[in-house]
Amino acid sequence: FHLRYQTPSNLAALENTDLAADLNSMVFDELETEDDQPSRGNHITVSLIYPHWRSGTIPLSKSIARLLPTAYEAPRVNFTFVDEDTHKEFPGWVVRPHRYVFGLKEWYEEKSLIPGSLFVIKQGKIPGQVLIQALKKRPTKDWIRTVLVGTDGGVVFTMLKQQISNDLDDRMAIMVPDPEAIDKLWEQTGKARGTLEVSIINTMRELIKLSPQGHVHAQELYAGVNILRRCPPGIILQVLANQPQVSHLGDLYFKLDETASEE
């Protein structure tokens, strides 16, 4: 259920379409219609958001789709993943109607990947095969954004030292020590869940606390919001553009002015 998404109906269109293009070029999201990161030749390096990490999936974004087996009519296409390091084979499925690729949950766990970990997808040399490789490194303890859930259900982002054994996208990486506690938040409905706008502003407030500059990059916010609910990058930018307390600082950096919302 982590991949379900309903488009908000009351959002004004984003005037600065260049911002959306810039953010989309940094992430992989099956809910976006624009091109994402271009695949270089026969391979691409992918970074995951929480919903795909938790579901054992990868997004069937445009650049990733070019590397995978497809069929014009079949809603599901079965193929074989091959771990490039161990040569282990395991099944994968392209689920075309919902634009994701399924079958990676055990592999993510085996490789100790976290949301924001980097791995490589390559076209196989044999039809029906797709090569996959985790970017492993010597385990080290590094400071990393970590999401915690209190007994009251409140969500806190903090910096904690965590054991890391894979290359990371620094803006996307978030350690989730207790996925079950996060899942309970996903199961909430109505008032308990809150609006998308509230989730975005609350996450922005939490991430800004971790920034010495007092701002947040939209890619960091995209990764953080998707810990709590499924939301494509373009919608996050639309919400930010319509919040009086949010200032755009240039590039993809944003600042929160709490006094503006009180005026």
List, for the chain, all residue ranges whose pLDDT scores fall below the cut of 50.
262-263
Q: What is the pLDDT of residue 263?
A: 46
Give the C-alpha separation, 174 to 224, whole Å: 8
Q: What is the pLDDT of residue 261?
A: 52
Which residue type occupies 263?
E
Q: What is the pLDDT of residue 12?
A: 62
| Beta carbons within 8 Å of 240's beta carbon, 6+ residues apart | 200, 218, 221, 246, 248, 254
Bridge partners of 260, per DSSP, are none
Q: What is the pLDDT of residue 257?
A: 86
What are the sequence ranges of the domains in the chain?
Answer: 17-262
Query: Residue 31 — φ and ψ, nearest 5°?
Result: -85, -10
Give the C-alpha separation, 99 to 240, whole Å: 26
CA angle 184, 187, 190 (to 5 degrees): 125
Bridge partners of 216, per DSSP, are 254
Percent of the chain residues past pLDDT 70, beyond the cut: 87
Could you say which DSSP state residue 138 is in?
A: E
CA angle 158, 203, 177 (to 5 degrees): 45
Fold of 17-262: At1g16640 B3 domain (2.40.330)
81-118 pLDDT, tens digit per residue, is 999 999 999 999 999 888 899 999 999 999 999 999 99
| Beta carbons within 8 Å of 258's beta carbon, 6+ residues apart | 245
This prediction has a pTM of 0.91
